[in-house]
Chain A
Amino acid sequence: MNCVELQQSLAAVEDGSSKEQRAHLRTCPACSSLLEDLKRIVAEAGELQAADEPSPRVWNSIAIALRQEGLIRPQRPPVPSFSARWGWARWLVPAAAASLLVLGVYLHQQSLPNQLAEHAAVAPVANPLGLDDDDLMQEVANNPPAMKPEFEENLRRVNESIRDAQSLVDESPNDPEARRALMDAYQQKSMLFEMAMDRSLP
């Protein structure tokens, strides 16, 4: 295994513990140093406080840019868990929350009277990042066990409120209150995502 192969292999075995990796690392100070740096970054990233992080809008912008460049796809890759060992996918959740909020704001803006007719059917419910309720519940697993049923119940209720608000918009596209109700419902779901990602938890 050479240096390039080792770096490629880190995507699969990130801690350098495979037999081939260890053989290369014993003879390559540069790759050993790289691996140590990566481990340190991962360890220190976990120590970041919420106040140190940019707002969800920043993550949303990054996610949009990555999608536009084709580096990530709209649909979430089939990773088994958000809390995968490198944990990078966790960063997409606040972006998803922000996306829900943006979607709600967008729908609210469509309530402008002169735009109502042409935008009456706008109601894309799909999450642009492909994050779904299962992802949310995986994050909830990191919260105290007693909180899980509470999150499940609130997720059910907020989804119900989105459906109801959407039906109102469908029935009365000229009703700005209906659109505001839909925006509020999306904001509530966005808040639920944020809380599931509670940054003060271990």
Chain B
Amino acid sequence: MVSRRTAKLVAIGVLAAGALVAESKKEYHFTVGSKAGVSVMNPYGSISVRPSSNNTVVVNAVLHSDRVEVDNNQNGNRVDIQSHLLAGADSDSGRVDYEVLVPADASITLHSSTGSLHAEKLHGDVTLEGPGATVDVRDVTDAHVHVKTMNGAVNLNNIQNGHVEVDSLSGEVTLTGVNGPLVQVVSTSGRINYIGDFGNSGEYRLTSHSGDIEATIPEWTSADVSARSVRGEVHDDIPLQPKTHNWFPIDKGRAFAGTMGRVAVSSTVVLRTFSGKIHLRKRSEQQ
């Protein structure tokens, strides 16, 4: 007689086999020219984009059930990929995970409600959106990087000469080695971390209504810095040359403003929060 334990194992095996059968893989290839546009719209699941070695777009999709399809369309130099949910699909059965290769100069638009969004080693514009999506972008140069999330964490790493705009409601935003003419983060309650040198003579604006803001920079940074927390505290580990004129009152403990480094090549840095804390921290040599 079959024991209950054996019956359970058989049942689990059948279920697992069923899941494996339902999962399927698709691969699509598209030939594109320079500066192609590629968009991937995926309600549930992750999207990862890396550079291809030639002028092709390769899409590898893992579909987690037969309740979702992948629609693909190429119109000239533009490729659109969309997960098409069929009747009865939910966040599990409607999930698709994408691995996408694109020419490094392609502009990409990625959208996922709940999955992770990742892009690396590109120099075309990058737009990533999704309410619960976690975002990871690294090694992008000379490009616009635009991110919109509700509560997903955002990590931007080594973005050089970028036009960076991050809008997040409550997710933590971390910028490491990010510089460019414009670097802007707006958050309602998320914490903002900046680790870098405020380089490129750019405009850096980090604002969070109730989240804390911490910037860790080397002592040799050249920047015109102003920080203000209406209800919170500010801390400054780096001596600044005080400015003779400020348009807002410098309440000790709630605001500071001044310059550091060489004024001629300095960036403008604005740190603002309503009730969070601001900390301008000196980077140690080990960091």
Contacts and interface: CB of A to CB of B under 8 A. Distances in A.
Contact of B113 (A161, A192, A201): A201
Contact of A154 (B39, B82, B150, B207): B150
Interface of A: 49-51, 143-144, 146-147, 150-151, 153-154, 157-158, 160-161, 164-165, 168, 175-177, 181, 184-185, 187-188, 191-192, 194-195, 198, 200-202
B210 A157 contact: yes
A158 B113 contact: no
A107 B207 CA distance: 18
Given A161-B274, A191-B169, 12 more contacts: A144-B44, A150-B151, A154-B170, A154-B189, A161-B188, A161-B210, A184-B207, A188-B169, A188-B186, A192-B150, A192-B169, A195-B131
A49 B72 CA distance: 12
Contact of A202 (B85, B167, B210, B230): B85
Nearest to B44: A144
Nearest to B186: A184
A200 B90 contact: no
Interface residues of B, number: 39
A66 to B, nearest CB: 28
B132 interface: yes
A28 B26 CA distance: 48
A177 B80 contact: no
A196 B34 CA distance: 35
A186 B132 CA distance: 20
Given A150-B151, A200-B41, A158 B188 contact: yes
Contacts of B151: 150, 154
Nearest to A174: B247
A161 B210 CA distance: 8
Given A154-B150, A177-B272, A195-B131, A185 B39 contact: no
A140 to B, nearest CB: 9
A49, A144, A164, A187 interface centre (most CB from chain B within 10 Å): A144
Determine chain B's interface SS by DSSP, over half rule. loop
Contacts of A202: 43, 85, 89, 94
Contacts of B148: 191, 194-195
A151 to B, nearest CB: 7
B48 interface: no
B64 interface: no
B150 A151 contact: yes
10 closest A-B pairs by CB = A161-B209, A200-B41, A195-B131, A202-B85, A154-B169, A144-B91, A157-B189, A188-B188, A200-B43, A158-B188
Contacts of B85: 201-202
Contacts of B94: 202
A51 B150 CA distance: 21
Given A188-B167, A198-B113, A49 B230 contact: no
A188 B170 CA distance: 10
Contact of B209 (A147, A164, A177, A201): A164
B277 interface: no
Contacts of A201: 43, 85, 113
Nearest to B129: A195
B42, B44, B169, B228 interface centre (most CB from chain A within 10 Å): B169
B150 A181 contact: no
21 contacts: A51-B39, A143-B131, A144-B113, A150-B150, A150-B151, A154-B170, A154-B189, A157-B169, A158-B169, A161-B210, A168-B274, A176-B247, A177-B248, A184-B186, A188-B186, A194-B148, A195-B148, A198-B130, A200-B41, A201-B85, A201-B113
B114 interface: yes
B111 interface: yes
B165 to A, nearest CB: 11
Interface in B56-91: 80, 82-83, 85, 89-91
Contacts of A158: 169, 188
B113 A177 contact: no
A53 to B, nearest CB: 13
